[in-house]
Structure 1
Amino acid sequence: MKKNLIKPIVAAALFGIATQSALAADRGTPREARELFDQAVKFMEANTPEKAFAAFNDRKGRFVRKDMYVFVIDDKGVYHASGAAPEALVGLTVLNTTDAAGNPLFRQMIDSTRSAPEATVRYMWLNRVTNKVEPKVTYVHKVGDYVLGVGYSAPRASADDARGMLTRAVDLVKKDGAAKAAASFNDRQGAFVKDDLYVFMVNMDSGKFEAMGMNPALSDTDARGLHDAEGHALVAEMIDKLKSAEDATVEYVWRNPVTNRVEKKRSYVHRVGNSLVGVGHYIE
């Protein structure tokens, strides 16, 4: 009986099944993950491996924050530290473990630090806070014979998520008017900004932003003249398309506020009176 329970218990720990306390925690941001990563690397370089492992394995210590933690594996893929579940993971060999998309993430971490001391690895993993499989970005660094890592969850909205938010946004503009709706769209803590999903609204006559959930400071600034990293006049194209149609779709490249990387994006836009209302999603 005990033997049969080993695999489920280890699997649950490995994929970070959420506890009640974890569910109450906040997500770590890319900046916070980078800060924790840099601090952990410095600590391990300044101390013996044993002292570093003890600090990283302390779930109430300074190296476990929000949904972020430090882990360390050796070149054979054996865990020596993990703030997620040290009691289950330390000593476990995960070299051939794959992520939710079938990618050998730990092997990739080890291989990537053989050619350079530091690398960034992206994969699909279960977030122990949301209990959902999400894209994850992990910084890894070679310290002696070990690879140290700290990651953050990078939730990625789907096309359905984007279209659903757009429908709600359009309904709000029709109900409350553009000015009142714009205040809701610009509320970074409101219902129209979620992970990498947000609403933008442009006045089709002036070409200026009426709302921009990713950066409300852009409100009342020129949108029509904006170009993406490839020189694409994205907003001008959106406005042109909506002159002859109520809905349109435009693809371009734009900075993802979650990953802080320029990525391909597809936005759905809808004309409501004199306003262009749009929501987009990032594409891997």
Structure 2
Amino acid sequence: MLVLASMLAALALPAVAAERATPREARSLFEQAVQYMQDNGAERAFAAFNNQKGKFVRKDLYVFVIDDKGVYHASGAAPEALVGMNVLDTTDAAGNPLFRQMIDATRQADEATVRYMWLNRVTNKIEPKVSYVRKIGHYVLGVGYSAPRASAEDARAMLQRAVAFAQAQGPDKAAAAFNDRGGEFVKDDLYVFMVDLASGRFQAMGMNPALSGTDAIGLHDAAGHALVAEMVEKLKSADEASVEYVWRNPVTNAVEKKRSYVRKVGGSLIGVGHYLD
């Protein structure tokens, strides 16, 4: 059985100056790669996908192709190390047989989405990853994007910064800063939200600033849980609390379990949450 360490060693290339790609960019590259392989055939496609200076390697994105036996035929990450290697029994950092999952998933449907833990070749860190995969003949073509996952410590640290900012600048400036999707209070899957305790309405929502001014108390998660109402109730007897619920992750676009830490600052509730494994 191929061990994960050998795969990671093959992929651990020197870091390059590249931005983190978005799910939309990954999807676009995936669709272009599928079309290219369908139009040009396997061998020509493999040559294009293995060209690390070509159009199928962008930011931290690359195209990979395995056959239904688990043998690599293309990888924009490290073609010289991976092409020809059988990875059928390789597992990810969580012990999941990701390549078997890709092959099995595309036997049931031509296209699938697979989630796993993998090395980001730009940051050289193990991160959650989402790959779009497509069956083309007896091959499986894929493009994946890294989906960073903040920790509880990251969420608490951002909350502390947000609270200090609100105390120093007041609620109006704080709300404007929290709603700035390019600012310091929105990073990957972390963002700040703020609720007016008197009106029960959002003052800020970093994930979706358009929610500012809308009802927060009546908001329910995908499981029907009145999450903000619970936060407000807990803050009636404490200055700080935590609440668990299910919510859409802006990075993976999937509904996931989440824990948010909330603080009472003046007449507002300020919170930051992190997604749970």
Q: TM-score, normalised by structure 1?
A: 0.92
Alignment of 1:160-239 (within 5 A): 160-239=153-232
| Aligned match of 2:77 | 84
**What is the CA–CA distance in structure 2 between the aligned matches of 1:11 and 1:268, rounded to whole Å?**
35
CA–CA distance in 1 between the matches of 2:256 and 2:8?
Answer: 32
Corresponding residue for 1:5? none
Go from structure 1 to structure 2 and tell me whether the alpha carbon gap of 1:10 and 1:213 turns closer, same or farther (over 3 Å shift).
closer
CA distance in structure 1 between the partners assigned to 2:172 and 2:200 by the alignment: 16
| Number of the residue aligned with 2:9 | 12
Cα separation, 1, equivalents of 2:100 and 2:255? 26
List gaps (5 residues or longer) in structure 2. none
Q: 1:41 aligns with which of 34, 44, 51?
A: 34
**How big is the shift at 1:10?**
6.7
Does residue 259 of structure 2 align to residue 269 of structure 1?
no
Structure 1 Cα separation of the partners of residues 46 and 30 of structure 2: 14
Q: How far is 1:47 from its partner?
A: 1.7
Cα distance, 1:171–1:239 mapped onto 2, change above 3 Å: same
Give the alignment's TM-score, normalised by structure 2. Answer: 0.94
The 3-state SS of whatever aligns with 1:168 is helix
Match of 2:117 in 1: 124
Check whether the contact 2:8–2:119 (CA below 8 A) recurs between aligned residues: no
Residue 73 of structure 1: how far off its partner (Å): 0.7
1:196–1:281: 8 Å Cα contact kept in structure 2? yes
Query: Mean Cα displacement is larger for which, 219-228 or 258-267?
Result: 219-228
Give the length in aligned residue pairs.
Answer: 274
Structure 1 stretches lacking a partner, 5+ long: 1-7
Cα displacement string for residues 100-127 of structure 1 (whole angstroms, at most 9, x for unaligned residues): 1122211221122122211111111111
Change (3 A) 1:133 1:247: same
Any idea what SS the aligned residue of 2:165 has? helix
Aligned-residue sequence identity (percent) comes to: 74
One-letter code aligned to 2:174: A
